[in-house]
Chains A and B, each alone.
Chain A
Amino acid sequence: MRVYLARRLLQSLLVLLGVSFVVFFILYLTGDPALVLLPPDSSAEDVERFREAMGFNDPFLVQYGRFLGGALRGDFGQSVRHGEPAFALVVERMPATFELAGTALLIALALSIPAGIVSAVRRNTLVDYASTVVALLGQSMPTFWLGIMLILVFSVQFNLLPSSGRGGLEHLVLPAVTLGLFTTARITRLTRSGMLEVLNQDYIRTARAKGVSNPPVIWKHALKNAAIPIVTIVGIELGTLLGGSVITETIFAWPGVGRLSVQAIYNRDYPVVQAAVFLLSSTFVLVNLVVDMLYTYLDPRIRFR
């Protein structure tokens, strides 16, 4: 168990190192920042002196090392546009993104797991067909279109909910539903197929045969075993949610990391882009580490691998 955890931890660190390299490389691709940062009428000597002073003349790996050292201390440089540290700008907006992604995940779980279970238990009934069709549509619908349509109906037509900004609960509804739909659809389908598989197993038949009534069989015996793939996908879906927040936040003018990074890309404010990509990726890695630990609780077999 301890060996397994240590190995997973080491793997996660390795992944973060890789992430930092890619993030650095993206900026490296932008070319020489000296010409962008200096006034256009600077002389060639000025440019050269600036390059030397900023370390742009150093070898690639030296520059990467410096970037990594900064990243570890939370230093991604100043935002070109806001004049503040890029790291602080991103961290400031993290709560908004977590609030949105977390709510979306909660909505998704609250809808999809019951829907998937009912679908599996009442297989080939009207309920099953309805939930399957909704899940299929949800999986095929582009997030940004759904968001616009929700605004059209609930904000423009009926004026029930606000279409932009962050504030009370009413501000959260439309963006969270928009962001959560795809995940809802995915988990519904997964829960259904997982439950169907488990319900055919011998131990379920045994439980039924010894007289356990229907609800405990489903909730205790079946769901706990069907939960393993669901927990895995929840970890992965969090990545989808964090990435999807880029689009959803843009549509609903939600002041989170996603919107900040899209604006930063438009403004060529690369330190902010780097900090945002790095922090969101780290969050994802961290969550998946936690998910893996949960996994060992759900499926004790893993501990002995």
Chain B
Amino acid sequence: MSVPARAIALPVERAPARREWVAFLRRLARRRTALFGLVVVALVLVAALGAPWLVGWDPIEQDITHRLAPPGSQDPAGRVHALGTDHLGRDILARIVFGARPALMVGFAAVAISGLLGMSVGLLSGYFGGRVDDVFMRLADIQLAFPFILLAIAVIGVLGPSLPVIIVVIGVSSWVVYARVVRSSVLSLREREFVQAALALGSRDGRVLLRHILPNALTPWLVVATADMARVIVIESALSFLGLGVQPPTPTWGGMLADGRVYISTAWWLATFPGLAILFTVLGINLFGDGLRDTLDPRLNV
């Protein structure tokens, strides 16, 4: 009687079990810069989620009598504008806190799209090779040939700026790095014994890809995703800066910068603080990403 393939305990290489996760987090926490990055990211996340409860000002409420008030000034009721007001008398701190929302929303959603897209392309390209690989890699070359921001503003200019359009445009055009990284790890994973064993036991391609290869290709993918998140947030603010991002009255960091640029010679705080918010957020994500890379796989060069 032959033993059914399922009954043979196959040494599946899995994503780290719980105890390994704890060890991993501990290693990550030991890197002070990574921890700092994590704290920054957490702060921005809290700001985005809790914006209405965190600030005393309405971010779109105008008060023309108190326009361009410098940081620290008070209104007649004695309430303080910690970072001053803009050209329409809106509280800058409140707008910065609320501005975290579109930034993170676009960041997470676009990274999810491009990450999934790139992961799929990378898996298929690396696993099947040959013609499939050729087609995908030429597509990648074409994608990379465009100056990214120019392509993005051209498409958004045509379709009209709105949150979904921005997310889709950034998401759809950022898959290449994921695909390349996943592809190259699949190329080496494909030759490993546990994959060959699974194939020899008659596992179908889909099962091998999803159960055996995917979990092992996740590490480099995750590292790329963090770096990409930082990039996407800068792009989102660049689009808003050019007036092609999420439209007013929703406060965006890039839009605030564009407003502030006009008043650069009289009211420096308008442009300075939203830029610092972007810098702070992106720096946090980058530090966290670097720490993640060093902890997970120091030899990874992405």
Which residues of A pack against B, CB within 8 Å? 11, 14-16, 18-19, 22, 26-27, 29-30, 136-137, 139-145, 148-149, 151-152, 156, 193, 236, 239-240, 242-244, 246-247, 250-251, 258, 261-262, 265-266, 268, 270, 273, 276-277, 280-281, 284-285
CB distance from B274 to the nearest CB of A (A): 8
Q: Map CB proximity to A onto B236-266 as digits: 1 under 8 Å, 0 otherwise.
A: 0110011110000000001001001100110
27 A-B pairs (CB sep. < 8 Å): A15-B141, A15-B145, A18-B141, A22-B142, A26-B154, A29-B158, A140-B286, A142-B275, A142-B278, A144-B241, A144-B257, A145-B257, A145-B279, A148-B257, A148-B264, A148-B271, A149-B271, A149-B275, A156-B265, A193-B301, A242-B150, A247-B241, A247-B242, A250-B242, A277-B151, A277-B154, A280-B150
| B154 contact from A137, A193, A242, A273, Cβ within 8 A | A273
Check if A265 sits within 8 Å of B157, measured CB to CB: yes
Across-interface contacts of B181 in A (CB, < 8 A): none
Across-interface contacts of A11 in B (CB, < 8 A): 138, 141
Check if A136 sits within 8 Å of B265, measured CB to CB: no
Check if B158 sits within 8 Å of A30, measured CB to CB: yes
Across-interface contacts of B264 in A (CB, < 8 A): 148, 151-152, 156
Across-interface contacts of B153 in A (CB, < 8 A): 246, 261-262, 265
CB distance from A61 to the nearest CB of B (A): 18
Q: Map CB proximity to A onto B259-294 as digits: 1 under 8 Å, 0 otherwise.
A: 011001100100110110011001100110000000
Q: Which residue of A lies closest to B156 (CB)?
A: A265
Across-interface contacts of B149 in A (CB, < 8 A): 243-244, 246-247
Given the known inter-chain contacts A15-B145, A277-B146, A281-B146, please indicate yes or no for A26 contacting B268, CB distance below 8 A: no
CB distance from B229 to the nearest CB of A (A): 12
Main secondary structure of the interface of B (DSSP, over half): helix
For the A-B complex, the count of residue pairs with Cβ-Cβ distances under 8 Å equals: 134
Check if B279 sits within 8 Å of A140, measured CB to CB: yes
Check if B283 sits within 8 Å of A136, measured CB to CB: yes
Check if B146 sits within 8 Å of A19, measured CB to CB: yes
Q: Map CB proximity to A onto B213-243 as digits: 1 under 8 Å, 0 otherwise.
A: 0000000000000000010001001100111
Q: Which residue of A lies closest to B290 (CB)?
A: A136
Main secondary structure of the interface of A (DSSP, over half): helix
A14 to B145, CA, bound (A): 11
| B155 contact from A15, A26, A280, A281, Cβ within 8 A | A26
Across-interface contacts of A258 in B (CB, < 8 A): 150
Across-interface contacts of A236 in B (CB, < 8 A): 144
Q: Which residue of A lies closest to B149 (CB)?
A: A243
B139 within 8 A of A: yes
Q: Which residue of B lies closest to A16 (CB)?
A: B145
A46 to B254, CA, bound (A): 44
B78 within 8 A of A: no
Check if B159 sits within 8 Å of A29, measured CB to CB: yes
Across-interface contacts of A19 in B (CB, < 8 A): 142, 145-146
CB distance from B4 to the nearest CB of A (A): 45
Check if B138 sits within 8 Å of A18, measured CB to CB: yes
Q: Which residue of A lies closest to B231 (CB)?
A: A139
Check if A15 sits within 8 Å of B257, measured CB to CB: no
B147 within 8 A of A: yes
Tell me which of B150, B237, B278 has the highest count of chain A C-beta atoms within 10 A of its own C-beta.
Answer: B150
Q: Which residue of A lies closest to B235 (CB)?
A: A142
Across-interface contacts of B301 in A (CB, < 8 A): 193
Check if A247 sits within 8 Å of B145, measured CB to CB: no
Across-interface contacts of A18 in B (CB, < 8 A): 138-139, 141-142, 145
| A285 contact from B145, B257, B279, Cβ within 8 A | B145
Across-interface contacts of A30 in B (CB, < 8 A): 158
A29 to B264, CA, bound (A): 38
CB distance from B270 to the nearest CB of A (A): 10
A14 to B301, CA, bound (A): 29
CB distance from B279 to the nearest CB of A (A): 5
B128 within 8 A of A: no
CB distance from B253 to the nearest CB of A (A): 9
B148 within 8 A of A: yes
| A15 contact from B138, B243, B286, Cβ within 8 A | B138
Across-interface contacts of A149 in B (CB, < 8 A): 271-272, 275
Check if A239 sits within 8 Å of B144, measured CB to CB: yes
